[in-house]
Amino acid sequence: MTETRWWWIRHAPVPDGGKIYGQRDLDADCTDPVAFKALAHELPRDAMWVTSNLGRTRQTAEAIIAAMGRKAGEIELRAIPELAEQHLGDWQGLDRKEFFAKRDLAVSPFWLCAADARPPNGETFLELTERVHGAIRQLSANVAGRDVIVVAHGGTIRAVLGLALGIDAEASLAFVTDNCSITRVDHIAGDRERWRIVTTNHRPWLRAAGATHVTGVPQGQVQA
């Protein structure tokens, strides 16, 4: 059997002004050197690096690589658009607090809407899972046996966990993925597809003195 080790990292925090951002291409705040040093210490050095097509994932990857002591451009970053966050359509740019004040959290307590609900001019979370699963399966076949570090998004990583566990899209929304956290899943190729979950939402910088990272999401709120 061949094992491919996937190291999923959610991008660094986004100064979003309290707005829903989805696929808006906003910059990440990569000014916490303690957090990036802790991440760099945890990750393999000979891995393939992947990001989505959104700049905040590349910025985060470059900050981690710099914390490893590597030079800019020394490591190739492959951008895969299918790994982008959910497109939230007309909700992107809306005030997050005002949005949640008007909706029933019982409909979907962990996300902006149910997995099969479509934001106006956007995509459903179910559609996100389909494109993410397709990209992962294709890449797993091409890089079998390697370590793959992917800097992506909260929704993307939830979709990964849904694939690994064989659960539906709605159930996968219950996972928490903090900024700059590591989720490790291994793809095991053989007579049938198998996945091993090693860790989820691992935050190696939590105990590091001087880390300025704020973790967790206030109750009733969602970062998107």
In terms of Cα–Cα distance, which of 37, 35, 66, 34 is closest to 49? 66
Distance CA 185, CA 113 (A): 26
CA 27 from chain centre, in angstroms, equals 15
| 162 in Cβ contact with 195 (< 8 Å) | no
Q: Is 56 annotated as a binding residue?
A: yes
CA distance 173 to 160: 11
Give backbone dihedrals phi and psi of 9, rounded to 5 degrees, phi first: -125, 130
Residues of the binding site for substrate: 56
Residues of the binding site: 56
